[in-house]
Amino acid sequence: DAGVTQSPTHLIKTRGQQVTLRCSPISGHKSVSWYQQVLGQGPQFIFQYYEKEERGRGNFPDRFSARQFPNYSSELNVNALLLGDSALYLCASSFGAGHSNQPQHFGDGTRLSIL
C-alpha cells in the first residue's frame, strides 16, 4: 500500500506570493494533520482535519489555511509568503482523530524556500 504522499517535493517562491501544498493520506485514513518544521527544530502543529472538517488549529496566522476533500486528501495554502515561512511542511495521516491513541504516518514533506 502507498504511504502518505506529498507534492511537490521542493518549491521556491518569493515574498508575497501564495503557495498550495498537497497531501494524499494512506488509503482508509480519515485524519490529516499539517506541520511546519524549521531546520533544527521539531514539527509545529498547524491544522488537523478529520472527516473533512477542521478539528484543531495551532498558533499560526490566518495566512495559513487548509481544506480536506471528500477523498480525504488535503491542501495547505499559505498567502503573502514571508521569509520565515521557509521550512519543511509535513503532512501526516491517521485512521482516527488526534485523541484516538493511533499513530500518525508522515509523508516526506514539501521543502519550501522563500527568496
Partner 1 sequence: SQQGEEDPQALSIQEGENATMNCSYKTSINNLQWYRQNSGRGLVHLILIRSNEREKHSGRLRVTLDTSKKSSSLLITASRAADTASYFCATNTGGFKTIFGAGTRLFVKA
Binding residues (CB under 8 A) for partner 1: these are: 4, 33, 35, 41-45, 48, 50, 55-56, 58, 88, 90, 92, 97-99, 101-109, 111
Phi then psi for residue 97, to 5 deg, are: -80, 175
| Minimum gap (Å) between residue 47 Cβ and partner 1 | 9
Contact 94, 49 (CB under 8 A): no
Of the pair 11, 97, the CB lying nearest partner 1 is at 97
The C-alpha cell at 36 is: 511546519
Of the pair 38, 80, the CB lying nearest partner 1 is at 38
Distance CA(109)–CA(106), nearest Å, equals 8
Of the pair 13, 44, the CB lying nearest partner 1 is at 44
The C-alpha cell at 83 is: 521569509
Contact 13, 87 (CB under 8 A): no
| Minimum gap (Å) between residue 100 Cβ and partner 1 | 9
| Minimum gap (Å) between residue 54 Cβ and partner 1 | 9
